[in-house]
Structure 1
Amino acid sequence: MARTRLRDRLRYWFDATMDRGTPALIGWLGLASVVLIVAVTALVTLFARKDAGENGGWPGIAWMSLLRTLDPGTMGGDSGGPVFLALMLLVTIGGIFIVSALIGVLTTGLEARIQELRKGRSRLIERGHTIVLGWSEQVFTVIAELVEANQSERRSCVVILADRDKVQMEDEIRRRVPDTGRTRVVCRSGSPLQRADLELTSLDSAKSVMVLPPVGDDSDTDVIKVLLLLNSRSWKGTRRPHVVAAVQNSPNLAAARLAAGDTALVIDADDIAVRLIVQSHRQSGLSTVFDEILSFTGNEIYPFAAKALHGTTYGEALNRFDLGAPVGLRTAAGDTLVNPPMDTAIGPGDQVLVLAEDDLVIRLANARPALTESAITSTPGRSPKSDRTLVIGWNSRGAKIITLLDRLVEPGSLVDIAAPRRPAEDFRDAGVQNLTVGFKPCEPTLRPSLESLDLGGYRHIIVLTDDDIHPERSDDRTLVTLLHLRDIATRSDCPYSIVTEMNSDANREIAQVTKADDFIVSTKIISLLLTQLTEDRELYAVFSDLFDPAGSEIYLKPAVSYVVPGATVNFATVVEAARQRGETALGYRLAGQSDVPPRYGVVLNPSKTAPLSLSDGDSIVVLAEDGRVHPGLPEARHAPDVEHAGPDAATLS
């Protein structure tokens, strides 16, 4: 093998030092400056001794050379022999090149460093922060809710890690969430699917980690991989942040929970959206109730340890709070009971779950509020009747909606699917028993096609978005369909209710002109739920019960089933009327304000002592397991009429 020449070795060594970047370049320029100064000083000392002596010898010449290297204007007052002046000119010209190169190197290095910092690749040093992994439209709702939740904190931090440009993320957040209060929002650019990028977020000292499903067909696959990375990670110390995540497709739930391990919470976004659509399609205003309970703007659920209530029952505690509406109990053993039996005793260590605007305002009343018991009434109900429901449009959630509806409606009910194409599912093979499922070809955006459906024959209409096109475009088509449906209802005096999906909450605000009875923005509901769980994971048991037909659910039942219409009462009287039925009253909805944003007539956790008058069309928001007669009540008390009240609890449980 041929021997490497010294020249090649030196060149390789020089190239290797240059690869080290800006510090190496500065070093070489400094060395060149030293060589130039030493060489000029030596030449002046040898060939211009008289001038060297007049300027302090070689130390003085070295100093003069250094100054001329750094500042070319310094030689303007030089005097001496031709050799001395020529050498000073030489060192000045050399200094011009060296200083110019140094400035260029410093500028380039500084710009590169700034660009590196703007990429968000530096490691965080934070404690007690919330980490959000992934980027989608949901991130703005999450940030806004975390800002609201941390208003009482002196210092809080939210860290976003996503495979996007850091500056672009910050600009979008400032545009969509302009006021972050005391909460700092820090963005880091990196892939949540890479372990090295995850380490940028200071995982070990975080309070909680939220995994947002990204946009795309493989969103659940990405969520599962992130959960695997977090679960297999070696955590420092005994405490690790709790992890919450959501999957879009129900079949992926088992795999995601296996990947997450025992300490993480994974929710089924698709299933929750289906349940909310089905529950809302027969009781207008339910999505607004959930929106407020899940949001940090308004009333949320807080645990309250009330020693003064030990030895009393849950039913007795309902009217013991001045500010706050009890919804259940959390026992000392860790069990969560939503709307438990009214005779459930509150023991030592138990906590009352209270719906309130803030945990700081929850307090017990000094005295029990006065009740107007003469205004309490029970309206005899009729037997549940079969339903006729029309589903306009079709998507991946359609089959689940039909299956869940079959569990909740009375035998002999009918659901027709109106869509451009017949669904591929065969519901006879799926075990549908109470429903007769039909199909009618329809173009949802064409008015003649909608008019051919004989809309007056249906009590409820569900409008589904199209999964096969862009979400924004799908919302636009849904808006057109809603306008047609509302105009047809107005012209033909059809009393059907309308519940529709929307992909964007901004489009929901636009769609209010259609006066549809309810809008289900599943992405926002999931974002709110994930945010609540990052703040208090123990609330998972409460929300899973509220969304589960087998547990206690939220219903909006007619006010006439609780108090005499037009009578002046207080809300404490309504609470007592609901208690006698085995239900927990949370608030009411005024029919006259049902189209007034942002709450659409829904009032939760109202004052228990303020005067209140409810009319025939108003509703009471209650927690109940069964809409029929409570086992402990006389037979004279019946469930509210299904046809008049909307969804009867018996048909949903």
Structure 2
Amino acid sequence: MDRGQERTPLRQRARYLFDRTLARSTGTLLGWLALCCLAVVVPVSTLLVWTDPDAPHSVSGRLAQVWRTSAETLRLGAVTGTLPRMLLSVLLGLIALLCVSTVVGVVTTGLGEQLTELRRGRSRVLERDHDVVVGWNDQIVTVVRELTAGRAGGGRHVITVLADRDPAQTEAALTAALGVTEGVRLVCRSGTLTDPDDLALVTPAAARAVVVLPAEDADGDLTTVRTLLALHTLLADGPGPRVVAAVHDGRYLPAARLAAGPRGTVLETDRTAARLLVQSARRPGMPSALRDLLDFSGAEFHVTEVPDAVGLSFEEVALRLDTSCAVGLLRRDGSPLLTPAPRTVVEPGDRLVTVAHDDRAVPLLDRWAPVDTTALAPSGPAPEPAVRLLLLGWNRRAPMIVDALCRTVRPGSSLDVVTDPGTDLELALARHRPLDSDAEAPALTVTHHTRDLAAPEALHGLELSGYDSVIALGTDHGPAPRGSDAPTLLALLTLRSWEQRTGRVLPVVAELHDRRSGRVAPLGHASDVVVRGELTALVMAQIAHDPRLAAVFEEIFTVRGGALALRTADHYVLPGREAAFATVVAAALERGECAIGYHAHVPRTARRYGAVRLAPGKSERRVWQAEDEVLVLTAGPGRDDCDPERRILPGPRAQRSEPGEPGGQGGPGEEAGLR
């Protein structure tokens, strides 16, 4: 028999007929339901009556009993008698069933709508002094974690998140990443970020701080500006929460700052990330040092009141603080003065900017910390040599990296750029070239190579041993760039294979989008990763915790453009000599820098750059090695580090101060053994 003429099985035909019948109308469905109920209830009721020993003996009596049992089961009434009475009883039963079903349906629908509304997160948050996070990106976990750590030990705390996504998914994702946090409650709401009515759900006017995360799509910066404008309509003029936001492109920075208003602080993520990558390439270990400094797990920046410091010089205050490191002053008008001259006098109303383990007021010691002048290294600028760098990949931060290198490297330096085919390097650099760029020959020579970066042979022909460091960049394609870490990981794998094959160490800094990619990245002995936006997220959390730090971070990361540096310890103390940390602090002050911690070099370790010991005690003594590194805050551009006024230390390199002056009797000019 032909396959097309085969008879369809009876079961399939019956199922098809049943489905087609049910799909006709609601009345048809009700009819089938009634028929199915009668087909089950009536036979069972008949069986119950006929097996009941107390049932009537007559057939008519038993049929009446079957009727009563079936009617009670179907809630149709149990009236017996003439046929009209029984039909009226059925009608009343159906009407009662319809009314009850209608009431049940209305109640069920109302409860379902209320539950759906609750799941949508559309109820207003009735909290005060809470933190509000607006938006969603890869760094939200970092922001929420740091906000939680910043309020640790402060009692009950609420963090509210408003995002354009399902609130249940938002809360589940944050809870999975953060775990159970004691004393902190997450409240998630859903809404359009640029709609004032939706922003009002999280009650921003009663919040302690509002953090607006930059969106990852192509119009993310415009969304941030519109969100800030919507917030401005909800926040009355006068006292209110601190608003902290970030944009990717610096072209939108002025508009975002205008929209944020006087209480707002707006950061630029791309330029900050580019500067960090340049710093990390020239001073390996900076990403780890900055993470240690900017999170709340150890020591961090604080603005503290030190009444005992009024009238003293900054040098004396810095050396009379034992467990915190002074880095500058916050003047009465709110302007920061970082790494001031050692003899700068602390005036009434000034506050001290320190790196400390908590924000408690730190009393000054009765005497200056011991400084061993015999262990001091000779002062004098050590010019950095020309460098040769390799840049793998290209994205919107790459021109900023090239521009930063052109401004900071020594003449004769070179940069080899390796990109995928299709990248017009000259056009990209021309679009980002500053208008005030010098007409002179640049200090950096840029050479462009076109290779398939996904292929292992992409680096063939490049003399990797001749590079001082390598920068590996990710791509910016797509609204969810998490997958764009794959090319960077492939490049790291190739570089790591070269290190293992040649036995040489090549400093590599890689830019990643997803912090989880850093856990699987094949990093070498002198390699590190920079998670895009992580530094900005940490700074945003710090400003939200203490708004006074906004001016400090603006000075460090914007005006000075990366004033934090890691320098080898032989810049400050003689290698192999035992000296207190106060000696390093005093030597840094003379060079126009503020020492805030150090990293002890441990030979034969798997990773060269570990945690930095921040704000150690001034009296802590150790034998300093040339490979040890000191984390310092450097002077800004235009400052003369060799100013004679900075020479505060005695001996052949500086004149002793007169008694009673800073650096005189009882100052750092005395030998450690005389204290």
TM-score, structure 2 normalization: 0.77
* Paired residues of 2:292 and 2:612 also in contact (CA < 8 A): no
Report the CA distance between 1:84 and its aligned residue. 11
* Cα displacement (A) at 1:362: 3.9
What pairs up with 1:35-114 in 2 under 5 angstroms? 95-114=96-115
Deviation at 1:367, TM superposition (A): 4.5
Partner of 1:241: 241
Match of 2:448 in 1: 439
Q: 1:321 to 1:196 in 2, by over 3 A?
A: same
1:629 is matched with: 642
Alignment partner, residue 397 of structure 2: 397
Instruction: Report the secondary structure of 1:518's partner residue.
Output: strand
Question: What CA deviation, in whole Å up to 9, does each residue of 1:314-347 have, x standing for no partner?
Answer: 1111122232111111122322111111111011
Question: Would the alpha carbon gap of residues 178 and 627 (structure 1) be closer, same or farther in structure 2, given more than 3 Å must change?
Answer: farther
CA–CA separation in structure 2 for the residues paired with 1:596 and 1:607 = 28
Partner of 1:29: none
Which of 467, 492, 498 lines up with 2:476 in the alignment?
467
Q: Compared with structure 1, are the counterparts of its residues 114 and 598 closer, same or farther at alpha carbon in structure 2 (3 Å cutoff)?
A: farther
| Length, aligned pairs only | 567
The CA distance in 2 between the partners of 1:628 and 1:326, in whole Å, is 18
Indicate whether 1:141 and 2:142 are aligned: yes
Aligned match of 1:602: 612
Q: Is the 8 A contact 1:119 1:189 kept in 2?
A: yes
The letter for the 2-side match of 1:458 is Y
1:145-544 aligned at under 5 Å gives the runs 145-231=146-232, 233=233, 235-236=235-236, 238-360=238-360, 362-365=362-365, 367-378=367-378, 382-421=382-421, 422-425=423-426, 430=433, 431=437, 433-468=442-477, 471-492=481-502, 494=504, 496-511=506-521, 513-544=523-554
Q: Aligned partners of 2:558 and 2:504: how far apart in 1?
A: 32
3-state SS of paired residue (1:302): strand
**Are the equivalent residues in 1 in contact too, given 2:211–2:544 (CA < 8 A)?**
yes
SS at match of 2:588: helix
C-alpha contact 2:314 2:346 (8 A) present in aligned 1: yes
RMSD of aligned residue pairs (Cα, Å): 3.3
Cα deviation for residue 596 of structure 1 reads 6.7
- Amino acid aligned to 1:345: V
Shift of 1:308: 1.1
Q: Is contact 1:377-1:561 (8 Å) kept?
A: yes
| TM-fit CA distance, 1:260 | 2.9
Q: Which residue pairs with 2:127 in the alignment?
A: 126
After superposition, where does 1:607-618 map in structure 2 within 5 Å?
A: 607-618=617-628
Q: Percent identity?
A: 32
For 2:579 and 2:250, the matched residues in 1 are separated by 46
Q: How far apart in 2 are the matches of 1:491 and 1:417?
A: 24
CA shift for structure 1 position 293: 2.3
Cα distance, 1:264–1:373 mapped onto 2, change above 3 Å: same
> Alpha carbons of 1:449 and 1:424: their partners in 2 closer, same or farther (altered >3 Å)?
closer
Assess if the C-alpha contact under 8 Å between 2:505 and 2:526 holds in 1. Answer: no
Cα deviation for residue 161 of structure 1 reads 1.1
Separation in 1 of the partners of 2:424 and 2:450? 11
Against the structure 1 CA distance between its residues 618 and 399, is the aligned structure 2 distance closer, same or farther, given a 3 Å change threshold? same
CA deviations on 1:278-337 (whole Å, 9 max, x unpaired) are 122111111222212221222121111111111111111112223211111112232211
Q: Say whether the 8 Å CA contact 2:341–2:646 is kept in structure 1.
A: no
Q: Is the 8 A contact 1:512 1:595 kept in 2?
A: no
Does the 8 A contact of 1:592 with 1:601 survive in 2? no
| 8 Å contact kept, 1:411–1:435 | yes
CA shift in 2, pair 1:528/1:152, >3 Å:
same
* Conserved? CA contact 1:555–1:624, under 8 Å: yes
- C-alpha displacement at 1:423, in angstroms? 3.4
Deviates more, 1:352-361 or 1:302-311: 352-361
Supply the distance in 2 between the matched residues of 1:217 and 1:110 (Cα, whole angstroms): 40
Tell me how far apart the structure 2 counterparts of residues 636 and 373 of structure 1 sit (CA, whole Å).
10
Q: Is the 8 A contact 1:380 1:636 kept in 2?
A: no
**For the Cα contact (< 8 Å) 2:526–2:609, is it kept in 1?**
no
Distance 1:80 1:117, change over 3 A: same
Provide the secondary structure at the position in 1 that maps to 2:536: helix
- Per-residue CA deviations over 1:96-136 (Å, capped at 9, x if unaligned) read 54334433332232122111111111112111122111111
**Residue 22 of structure 2 corresponds to which residue in structure 1?**
none
**How far does residue 415 in structure 1 lie from its aligned partner after superposition?**
1.3
Q: Indicate if the aligned counterparts of 2:596 and 2:614 stay in contact, CA closer than 8 A.
A: yes
Distance 1:473 1:598, change over 3 A: farther
Q: Deviations over 1:67-99 (max 9, x none)?
A: xxxx999x99x9999999999998777545433
Alignment check: 8 A CA contact 2:328 2:338 kept: yes
State the partner residue of 2:662: none
Is residue 276–residue 547 contact of structure 1 (8 Å, CA) maintained in 2? no
Tell me if structure 2 keeps the 8 A contact 1:393–1:466: yes
Output the amino acid matched with 1:519. V
Structure 1 residue 497, shift from structure 2 partner: 2.3
Distance apart, 1:490 and its partner CA: 4.4
Q: Residue 42 of structure 1 aligns with which residue?
A: none
- Matched to 2:217, the amino acid is G
Deviation of the 1:149 alpha carbon: 0.8
**Aligned counterparts of 2:646 and 2:580: Cα–Cα separation in 1:** 23
Q: What stretches of structure 2 of length at least 5 have no aligned partner?
A: 1-72, 655-675
Matched position secondary structure for 2:618:
coil
Secondary structure, aligned partner of 2:371: coil
Q: Structure 1's 253 and 151: CA in aligned 2 closer, same or farther, altered over 3 A? A: same
Secondary structure of the equivalent of 2:401?
helix
Q: Give the secondary structure class of the aligned counterpart of 1:337.
A: strand
Moved more, 299-308 or 469-478: 469-478
Does the 8 A contact of 1:134 with 1:213 survive in 2?
A: yes
Moved more, 606-615 or 207-216: 606-615
Tell me which residue corresponds to 2:48.
none
> What is the alpha-carbon distance in structure 1 between the residues aligned to residue 613 and residue 424 of structure 2?
40
Deviation at 1:493, TM superposition (A): 5.1
Secondary structure of the residue aligned to 2:255 is helix
TM-score by length of 1: 0.79
Tell me, yes or no, if the aligned pair for 2:327 and 2:338 is still in contact at 8 Å.
Answer: yes
Give 1:458 shift.
Answer: 1.8
